[in-house]
Amino acid sequence: MKIAVIGATGMAGQAIFEEARRRGHDVTAIVRDEDRALMAFGSDTQVLVSDVFNLTAVTLAPFDVVVNAFADHQRPYLNLDALTHLIHEYRQLESRIIFILGAGSLMQATGQRLFDFLADLPGNETWIDEPRYGVLALEILRATTNVNWTGVSPQQEFLPGSASGHRIGHDEVLLATDGASHVTAGNMAVGILDEIESPAYLQDRFTVSDL
Amino acid sequence: MKIAVIGATGMAGQAIFEEARRRGHDVTAIVRDEDRALMAFGSDTQVLVSDVFNLTAVTLAPFDVVVNAFADHQRPYLNLDALTHLIHEYRQLESRIIFILGAGSLMQATGQRLFDFLADLPGNETWIDEPRYGVLALEILRATTNVNWTGVSPQQEFLPGSASGHRIGHDEVLLATDGASHVTAGNMAVGILDEIESPAYLQDRFTVSDL
């Protein structure tokens, strides 16, 4: 398939780009810094140099699936802006867009969202905005009926690391065998490529966890 | 003040443009169809011809206040897209943007949102999307801390008509003396121009009702 990864040089994007290439897909890295992409993936890499906000339906149309792995942790409101910009462009397209969301919108076993737990923690002022915007991002997606979207959440800890075996969930916090909620970028990438090849969560959200 | 009205030839936009001009402000109509604006307001009208999605921080920067009166009732998801696009651009500006929202997010005396009442009505399929997106629009605004925004909701019925005396509320459905919830475009325009000249609802939402 013809796949593009927005933010391909970030932690998640790099793992997804490499997993897609490993499986023989025709992959394009959409990045702001071409040199960084060529350094990461080799000089024969297909690169589309663009800021996420300059991507249009016309530039996105050639791809069967685009994965949005853009993430700005310093200015998390830009993650929301990028999502709404892409939704607007994709209203004109039938092809598929997969958004990497945060874990804050996942439900805990208590019936409470992970975000509601995080929002009550003292000293969260410096980092609570990112999960807050992530919760809103999923609400916006769920209200979006004329875009072929899928959301994918990592688990509470989203860490560098290769594929080591994973499982898929729907809307829940999942605990690995060590009792904690985490997923590596490599496992996320495998979960996302499986979903690209065998769609199961169209206009829905799923999550990937380490074993 | 230097004021611009996006969607100045619509019902709300036209009343706001005329009220702003009547008060002696320097007003610009931001419209897609220049001829229609010149026909509505006269050949000496200042017009900026632009689709709302092509407006940028650079083109918006000259105005002290912009009122977004863009509304697409056939494709109400575009109202949400326009709001998020403008939020993104205004993150770079300190000047003020006022969004005309729907009435669905107003609270009824029962403690229930007007939208929740509407969502339970049989046969609402053809029109419920517009208030649904309106509710989400206010949620997005309330999560927006780095834009100088104000939201203004009409009442349940938003009708053509001139200024005839109005009152202001915060988040509530207001009932006029006839026991119904309504506001004319002329009364909305007076309420909005009062708020522009004497800001009381910065990063907040207010509502205007007929007497």
Q: Which of A88, A136, A146 sits opposite B140 (nearest CB)?
A: A136
Cβ <8 Å between A85 and B87 = no
Per-residue pLDDT of chain A (211 residues; tens, 9 = 90+): 999 999 999 999 999 999 999 999 999 999 999 999 999 999 999 999 999 999 999 999 999 999 999 999 999 999 999 999 999 999 999 999 999 999 999 999 999 999 999 999 999 999 999 999 999 999 999 999 999 999 999 999 999 999 999 999 999 999 999 999 999 999 999 999 999 999 999 999 999 999 9
Chain B partners of A87 at a C-beta cutoff of 8 Å?
81
Nearest chain A residue to B141 by CA distance is: A136
For chain A, which residues lie within 8 Å of any Cβ of chain B, measuring from their own Cβ?
53, 77, 80-81, 84-85, 87-88, 91, 132-133, 136, 139-140, 143-144, 146
Chain A partners of B132 at a C-beta cutoff of 8 Å?
143
- Rounded to the nearest angstrom, the minimum Cα separation between B178 and chain A is 35
ipTM above 0.85, yes or no: yes
Q: Tell me which residue of A103, A101, A100 sits closest to A66, measured CA to CA.
A: A100
Chain B partners of A85 at a C-beta cutoff of 8 Å?
84-85, 88
Which of A89, A105, A140 to probe by mutation at the B interface, max B CB count within 10 Å?
A140
Nearest chain A residue to B82 by CA distance is: A88
- Rounded to the nearest angstrom, the minimum Cα separation between B107 and chain A is 20
Q: What is the pLDDT of residue B191?
A: 98
Q: Which CATH number fits domain A2-210: 3.40.50.720, 3.30.9.10, 1.20.1260.10, 2.40.50.140?
A: 3.40.50.720
The full DSSP string for chain B is -EEEEETTTSHHHHHHHHHHHHTT-EEEEEES-HHHHHHHH-TT-EEEE--GGG--HHHHTT-SEEEE----SSSTHHHHHHHHHHHHHHTT--SEEEEE--STTSBPTTSSBHHHHHHTSTT-TTTTHHHHHHHHHHHHHHT--SSEEEEEE--SEEE------EEEESSB----TTSS-EEEHHHHHHHHHHHHHS---TTEEEEEEE-
Residue spans of the domains in chain A: they are: 2-210
